[in-house]
Chains A and B, each alone.
Chain A
Amino acid sequence: MNALNNIILVAIGVLLTITSLWYGQNHHLLPESAADSAPLFDSLFNSTITIATGIFLVVEGVLLYSAVRFRRRRGDQGDGDPNHGNVLLEIVWTAVPAVIILWLGVASLDVYQAINGGVNVGGHAHSAMAMSMESSYEAKAEDPSYEYTPVVVANGVVGQPDLVVQVQGMQYAWVFTYPESGLVASELHLPLNKRVRLDMTALDVNHAFWVPQFRLKQDVIPGRETHLEFVPSELGEYPIVCAELCGPYHGVMGGQLFVDTPEAFESWQEEQILAARPDSDALALAAETHSSSAFAAAHRQRLGISPSDLTSIHSHPGSRHSAG
Chain B
Amino acid sequence: MTQLQDNPNLAAAPKASMDPPAEPWWRFFTFSTDHKVIGIQYLVTTFFFYLVGGALATAVRAELATPEADFLGFERYNGAFTVHATIMIFLWIVPALVGGFGNYLVPLMIGARDMAFPKLNAVAFWMIPPTGILLLVSLLTEAPAAGWTSYPPLSLISGQLGEELWILSILLGGTSSILAGVNFFVTILKMRMPGMKLGDMPLFCWAMLATSVLTLIATPVLAGALILLSFDLLAGTAFFNPSGGGDPVVYQHMFWFYSHPAVYIMILPVFGMISEILPVHARKPIFAYKAIAYSSLAICFLGLIVWAHHMFTSGTPDWMRVFFMIATMAIAVPTGIKVFSWLATLWGGKIRLNSAMLFGMGFVSMFVIGGLSGIILSSVPLDVHVHDTYFVVAHLHYVLFGGSVFGIYAGLYHWFPKMTGRMMNEFWGRVHFVLTFVGFNICFLPMHKLGLMGMPRRVAQYDPQFADLNWISSVGAFILAISTLPFLVNAIYSWVAGPKAGDNPWQALSLEWTTTSPPPHQNFYGDPILLTGPYDYGLHSKETLDYFAAQLQTLRELSLMEAESSHS
Given that A101-B332, A251-B69 are contacting pairs, would A121 and B242 also be in contact in the complex, using a CB cutoff of 8 Å? no
A78-B350, A108-B382 are known; give 17 further A-B pairs, CB within 8 A.
A29-B453, A59-B339, A62-B343, A62-B347, A72-B352, A80-B349, A90-B291, A100-B332, A108-B380, A215-B381, A217-B385, A222-B242, A224-B315, A226-B315, A247-B154, A250-B459, A251-B462
Are A78 and B283 touching (Cβ within 8 A)? Answer: yes
Between A59, A104, A120, A242, the greatest number of chain B beta carbons within 10 A of the residue's beta carbon is seen for: A59
Chain A contact residues, majority secondary structure? mixed
Are B332 and A30 touching (Cβ within 8 A)? Answer: no
A79 at interface, CB cutoff 8 A: yes
Given that A80-B348, A108-B379, A323-B153 are contacting pairs, would A206 and B248 also be in contact in the complex, using a CB cutoff of 8 Å? yes
Set of chain B residues within 8 Å of A222, measured between Cβ atoms: 153, 242-243, 248
Set of chain B residues within 8 Å of A320, measured between Cβ atoms: 157
CB distance from B276 to the nearest CB of A (A): 15
Partner of B387, one of A77, A89, A93, A217: A217
> Quick one: which of A80-100 are within 8 Å of B by CB?
80-86, 89-90, 93-94, 97-98, 100
Interface string of A94-122 (1 = CB under 8 A from B): 10011011001100110110011000111
Q: Which residues of B contact A (CB under 8 A)?
A: 69, 74-75, 77-78, 145-147, 151, 153-154, 156-158, 242-243, 246-249, 282-289, 291, 313-319, 321-322, 325-326, 329-330, 332-333, 336-337, 339-341, 343-344, 346-353, 361, 364-365, 368-369, 372-373, 375-376, 379-382, 384-385, 387-389, 448-449, 452-454, 456-463, 535-539, 542
Set of chain B residues within 8 Å of A62, measured between Cβ atoms: 343, 346-347
Are B375 and A52 touching (Cβ within 8 A)? Answer: yes
Are A205 and B343 touching (Cβ within 8 A)? Answer: no
Set of chain B residues within 8 Å of A115, measured between Cβ atoms: 381, 384
Are B537 and A82 touching (Cβ within 8 A)? Answer: yes
CB distance from B388 to the nearest CB of A (A): 4
A129 at interface, CB cutoff 8 A: yes
A22 at interface, CB cutoff 8 A: no
List 10 A–B pairs whose Cβ atoms lie within 8 Å, in order of A's numbering.
Answer: A29-B453, A41-B382, A67-B346, A80-B538, A82-B536, A84-B535, A93-B336, A129-B318, A217-B384, A241-B454
With the chains together, A72 CA to B346 CA distance in Å?
11
Are A241 and B456 touching (Cβ within 8 A)? Answer: yes
Are B315 and A101 touching (Cβ within 8 A)? Answer: no
Set of chain A residues within 8 Å of B315, measured between Cβ atoms: 121, 218-219, 221, 224, 226
A317 at interface, CB cutoff 8 A: yes
Chain A, residue nearest B449 (CB): A29
With the chains together, A86 CA to B341 CA distance in Å?
10
Set of chain A residues within 8 Å of B74, measured between Cβ atoms: 248-249, 251, 312
Q: Which residues of A contact B (CB under 8 A)?
A: 29-31, 40-41, 44-45, 48-49, 52, 55-56, 59-60, 62-63, 66-67, 70-73, 76-86, 89-90, 93-94, 97-98, 100-101, 104-105, 108-109, 111-112, 115-116, 120-126, 129, 204-206, 208, 210, 212, 215-219, 221-224, 226, 239, 241-252, 312, 316-318, 320, 322-324
With the chains together, A222 CA to B286 CA distance in Å?
53
Partner of A204, one of B153, B346, B384: B153
Set of chain B residues within 8 Å of A89, measured between Cβ atoms: 340, 344
**10 A-B pairs with least C-beta separation:** A223-B242, A251-B459, A82-B538, A212-B454, A122-B317, A84-B285, A79-B538, A80-B349, A248-B74, A125-B319
With the chains together, A72 CA to B282 CA distance in Å?
8
CB distance from A262 to the nearest CB of B (A): 27
Given that A80-B282, A104-B375 are contacting pairs, would A246 and B449 also be in contact in the complex, using a CB cutoff of 8 Å? no
Are A63 and B346 touching (Cβ within 8 A)? Answer: yes
CB distance from A116 to the nearest CB of B (A): 7
Are B350 and A126 touching (Cβ within 8 A)? Answer: no
Set of chain B residues within 8 Å of A66, measured between Cβ atoms: 343, 346-347, 349, 351
Are A85 and B381 touching (Cβ within 8 A)? Answer: no
Set of chain A residues within 8 Å of B462, measured between Cβ atoms: 251
Are A206 and B376 touching (Cβ within 8 A)? Answer: no
With the chains together, A4 CA to B364 CA distance in Å?
30
Given that A121-B315, A125-B319, A219-B315 are contacting pairs, would A82 and B349 also be in contact in the complex, using a CB cutoff of 8 Å? no
Partner of A219, one of B146, B313, B379, B463: B313
Are A323 and B156 touching (Cβ within 8 A)? Answer: yes
Are A215 and B385 touching (Cβ within 8 A)? Answer: yes
Chain B, residue nearest A319 (CB): B157
Set of chain B residues within 8 Å of A44, measured between Cβ atoms: 379, 381-382
Are B348 and A70 touching (Cβ within 8 A)? Answer: yes
Are B313 and A217 touching (Cβ within 8 A)? Answer: yes
With the chains together, A67 CA to B281 CA distance in Å?
11
Are A243 and B456 touching (Cβ within 8 A)? Answer: yes
With the chains together, A73 CA to B448 CA distance in Å?
39
Are B158 and A317 touching (Cβ within 8 A)? Answer: yes
Are B388 and A243 touching (Cβ within 8 A)? Answer: yes
Set of chain B residues within 8 Å of A206, measured between Cβ atoms: 151, 153-154, 248
